[in-house]
Structure 1
Amino acid sequence: MARIAPNYVVCGDPEEVRRMWGVRSQFDRAIWYKGFKLDPPRDCTLSMCGGDVHAALRSKLAPGYSGKDVDGLHESIDEGVARFVRLIEDKYLSSASDYRPVDFARKTQYMTLDIISKIAFGAPFGFMDRDEDFYDYINTVEASVPMMQMFALIPWLINLLQSPLCKAMMPSERDAVGLGPIMAIAKRAVGERYALDAKDRRDMLGSFVRHGLEQKEAEAESLVQIIAGSDTTATVLRTVMVHITTNSNIYRRLQAEIDSGITKGLVSSPITDAEARELPLLQACIKEGFRMWPPISGIMPRVSDSDAVVCGVRIPAGTNVAWSARAVMRHKGVFGIDADIFHPDRWLRADEGQRQAMENTIDLCFGQGRWGCLGRPIATVELNKMVVELLRRFDFSVLDMERPIRNAFFGVLIQSDLKMRITRREDVEPKQ
């Protein structure tokens, strides 16, 4: 426990964080969350601070995020991954006579944006087809993240966010570049579903409509889907890939695990989520990816209207109690003395008690209880498929071993310059 600012303390104890975030906790979200209204002044699941309204909203969203209401969810992910494979094969495959370096960090976000838009609205945005950051969307969002953090941390700026003056400065669907054009696409898709002659469709937006989400609510949540649903998954994929490709022992063992599954008929093409869950080293690598660089590491403070005790310290009512994602995910009491390094074998060698303690701590990456991440099931399937489908086909070499990737931290990781050389692997598929 440490005091980091007036009326702010930070906690790095996984058990205490889990208790504060629990269903029956006396703590609720602090005003900090109001800084993440993506379409002010309307709240969304990211910015709501609690109560029955938030619970009711989550109940309308949950069936769509779980995949139960979405036909062809896994097939849509397969299509997106296959399109990414084709992009690599068509434009970025190097050979002994052809050198084609690629910024893997940027390309992965094209993939995750197209996948989430297909799942959400029934059609991909087309980032991979264009192979560019059209509308300058990604650059604009990344540039706005520091400002959003500033708004969230300074209470009077949060109030300013609600003013008409600030509204005029926010992204608009009338903008030619940035978030605005993506907002326009999302609002147009939402508007079509609420038209008098609209047909029911079995995608996420269709699920929201069927479960009673109002049109304005759907517009706000569509931005949550796009921004949160693409960047976080891309962050974990990059983190896994950069740590695997800079660790030759883990890299070759993981490829061998995938190859063995293929030759034994235990890995389909494309791999299913169920098959991927049976690959222990793969699962360990993905968990370590979440742990090393958690995709959402904002302070996410909680506040209680009565005095509380956290880490043995009395916390006065109204105090913001934040968490340190880095301290929690590298807690040596949970993950061992080598918690600061990428070490998938910790998951393979742990006894049941230690493994469960590590699992419970990793779960905090997705929130807890009534604040848990609704998109977790989709992200899990995406990562299971992406890593396998890439490593079964290609070899990846990092071009700058001293600084393989650039990370800028503003509550979320802004990653860039993961320059790689990609070559085709020898065929390991079983011969027909």
Structure 2
Amino acid sequence: MALLSRIAVAAVTLLAVYYIVGSVLSYRRLRLFKGPPLASFSRFWLFWKECRGTLPHAQVAALEKYGSPARIGHDLLVTDDAELIRHINAPGSRWTRSGWYDAMRMDPRQDNVFSTRNEEAHVDLKAKEAGGYNGRDINTLEPDIDSQVGEFIGLIRKHEGKVVDFAPKVRYFVLDVLSTVAFGRPFGFMAADEDKWDYCQTSDDFTLILGLTANHSSVRWLLSQDWVQALAAPKTTDKHGIGPALAFAHKAVSERYGPDAKPRKDMLGHFVNKGLSQVQCECEAFLQIMAGTDSSATILRCAIFSLAGNPRVYAKLRAEIDGVLGQNASVRYPDVLKLEYLKVVIWETIRLFPPLFGLKEKCAPVGGDEFNGVFYPEGSTVAGCDAAIMRRKDVFGDDASFFRPERLLEGDDALRRKRMQTVEVAFGSGKYLCLGKHIAMIELHKTIVAIMRNFDFAMADPMRAVDDVLHNVHQQKNMNLVFTARE
């Protein structure tokens, strides 16, 4: 017993020494960068802000107080410089994905395209999947989205003339779009008009855990243990939560690998044709469900709610839609792309409400790297703060906190290009550009047009703010609107 006690004391002592030495080395490595005092020695500052759902706002405050880049962890810097992010993400850059991405390995069996840290493997997998996401090699993308836009218009009509919380309705719509595009049929959230399987509530709870897991290696280690996975990870046999959605996806995937499988020219068929295994497709399915929903949902919600609160922008956009598209019943995506004001309404929404707040840390290369006179030592990591990047007054003007889409059309070519390149960082850039960007753009353009052509809408209570908690994504509710049919 005494021997065990001595071993335990020795182990704890070694761990303490390891932590102290590591903290001192990390402190010295980034000692020239300023930040919250606690952040110099640990990531507890991050942990506390994440738990409170205020991490993006806290990063903005740190950048304003200490300058950019600011130190927000013993080994972590945060920046509001879009040019630095593009430099880090550029093809050929020696910067690499950090351990943050290990938490994006949703399925313990295998990495997905977002969690893959090996550069060669990531390039190879992304190349295989690209034709399915950008629609180049499939013929079902726009028709699938159109079918669910029609269902969404029908869902809004069910609540016409009544106060409706728009936030969950949009989530149902995006989940059904995602499943139709990715798996060939909708989950059925809009048909049920309810949170099937308690999926949405479970997903909201999951995003907090995901943030803590991604930001802290100790939490990643704990949650990667087999016994924790067995107790807590979603399973296809679950009756509630994320598990039933996984089961839905796995069933769709298994049908493509069964003895009676027939080739189909859709996204899943594209993955099969490019040689992805059944397990790979199942892993990508989990990523699509978790990562492909909240981003599009946030942009669509905030665009419609911002229009409802800005009569001038609302009227200008409606006039453009009516003038360019007229009474045409069928509108294709190339037709919608003629709506220049709609484009900037969407991008201005993305600027003011960047949909994803994950740190997406990248590791400085061996020997470090210098950019714009700042040296980033080997072993340090850098994250971008979209909330700060998108509201820089030196880029977007003194009214950067206002919803004013015209700013993206103003100025000379150089200013317009700089502003658009900055906003586009919300979807990543270079070798880390988001694969789902094209799908999101079709979905957003066509849905906003459909809503504007079919309904008048207004805030139910302009004095009541939307409830918005920030755990890697916007968790929104009480986005109360009233829709009435256009005459």
Tell me the distance in 2 between the aligned counterparts of 1:277 and 1:80: 20
Aligned to 1:208: 271
Secondary structure of residue in 2 paired with 1:392: helix
- Where does the alignment leave 5 or more consecutive residues of structure 1 unmatched? 95-99, 427-432
The reply to whether residue 67 of structure 1 matches residue 135 of structure 2 is yes
Instruction: Assess if the C-alpha contact under 8 Å between 2:362 and 2:382 holds in 1.
Output: yes
Tell me the distance in 1 between the aligned counterparts of 2:99 and 2:445: 35
Secondary structure of residue in 1 paired with 2:293: helix
Tell me the distance in 2 between the aligned counterparts of 1:280 and 1:380: 13
Aligned to 2:331: 271
Tell me the distance in 1 between the aligned counterparts of 2:325 and 2:223: 53
Tell me the distance in 1 between the aligned counterparts of 2:465 and 2:343: 23
Aligned to 2:37: none
Choose from 26, 31, 50 the match for 2:99.
Answer: 31
Tell me the distance in 1 between the aligned counterparts of 2:465 and 2:324: 30
- Post-superposition Cα deviations, 1:99-130, rounded to whole Å, max 9, x if no partner, equal x2111111011111111111111111111111
Per-residue deviation at 1:42? Answer: 2.3
Secondary structure of residue in 1 paired with 2:85: helix
Instruction: Assess if the C-alpha contact under 8 Å between 1:70 and 1:207 holds in 2.
Output: yes
Aligned to 1:188: 251
Greater relative CO, 1 or 2 (CA 8 Å, sep 6+): 1
Q: Which amino acid aligns with 1:271?
A: V
Choose from 459, 462, 475 the match for 1:401.
Answer: 462
Equivalent runs, 1:148-163 vs 2, <5 Å: 148-163=210-225
Aligned to 2:359: 299
Secondary structure of residue in 2 paired with 1:349: coil
- Post-superposition Cα deviations, 1:13-62, rounded to whole Å, max 9, x if no partner, equal 11111101111212111101111221224211222223211111112211
- Post-superposition Cα deviations, 1:257-304, rounded to whole Å, max 9, x if no partner, equal 1122233x6xx3243211221112111100101101111122111102
Per-residue deviation at 1:311? Answer: 5.1
Instruction: Assess if the C-alpha contact under 8 Å between 2:408 and 2:420 holds in 1.
Output: no
Tell me the distance in 2 between the aligned counterparts of 1:166 and 1:358: 45
After superposing on structure 2, the runs of 4+ consecutive aligned residues of structure 1 that deviate more than 4 Å are none
Choose from 232, 250, 270 the match for 2:313.
Answer: 250
- Post-superposition Cα deviations, 1:370-412, rounded to whole Å, max 9, x if no partner, equal 2111111111111110101101111111123234422111222
Tell me the distance in 2 between the aligned counterparts of 1:269 and 1:77: 16
- Where does the alignment leave 5 or more consecutive residues of structure 2 unmatched? 1-68
Aligned to 1:134: 196
TM-score by length of 1: 0.93
Aligned to 1:6: 74
The reply to whether residue 40 of structure 1 matches residue 111 of structure 2 is no
Tell me the distance in 2 between the aligned counterparts of 1:5 and 1:224: 27
The reply to whether residue 345 of structure 1 matches residue 406 of structure 2 is yes
Is the helix fraction higher in 1 or 2? 2
Per-residue deviation at 1:255? Answer: 1.1
Instruction: Assess if the C-alpha contact under 8 Å between 1:304 and 1:317 holds in 2.
Output: yes
Per-residue deviation at 1:160? Answer: 2.5
Equivalent runs, 1:2-401 vs 2, <5 Å: 2-89=70-157, 91-94=158-161, 100-168=162-230, 169-263=232-326, 268-306=328-366, 307-310=368-371, 312-401=373-462
Secondary structure of residue in 1 paired with 2:292: helix
Q: Which amino acid aligns with 2:424?
A: D
Which deviates further from its counterpart, 154-163 or 324-333?
154-163
Q: Which has the larger radius of gyration?
A: 2
Tell me the distance in 1 between the aligned counterparts of 2:277 and 2:300: 34
Per-residue deviation at 1:79? Answer: 1.0
Per-residue deviation at 1:66? Answer: 1.1
Q: Which amino acid aligns with 1:128?
A: M
Secondary structure of residue in 2 paired with 1:38: coil
Which deviates further from its counterpart, 234-243 or 39-48?
39-48
Tell me the distance in 2 between the aligned counterparts of 1:92 and 1:389: 16
Per-residue deviation at 1:68? Answer: 1.9
Per-residue deviation at 1:246? Answer: 0.4
Aligned to 2:6: none
Tell me the distance in 2 between the aligned counterparts of 1:213 and 1:343: 44
Secondary structure of residue in 1 paired with 2:269: helix
Aligned to 1:97: none
- Post-superposition Cα deviations, 1:109-166, rounded to whole Å, max 9, x if no partner, equal 1111111111111111111111111111111111110111001111122122322112
Which deviates further from its counterpart, 216-225 or 397-406?
397-406
Instruction: Assess if the C-alpha contact under 8 Å between 1:172 and 1:183 holds in 2.
Output: yes
Instruction: Assess if the C-alpha contact under 8 Å between 1:35 and 1:161 holds in 2.
Output: no
Tell me the distance in 2 between the aligned counterparts of 1:351 and 1:234: 32
Secondary structure of residue in 2 paired with 1:93: coil
Q: Which amino acid aligns with 1:377?
A: H
Tell me the distance in 1 between the aligned counterparts of 2:164 and 2:428: 34
Tell me the distance in 2 between the aligned counterparts of 1:109 and 1:208: 26
Q: Which amino acid aligns with 2:399?
A: D
Tell me the distance in 1 between the aligned counterparts of 2:103 and 2:348: 30
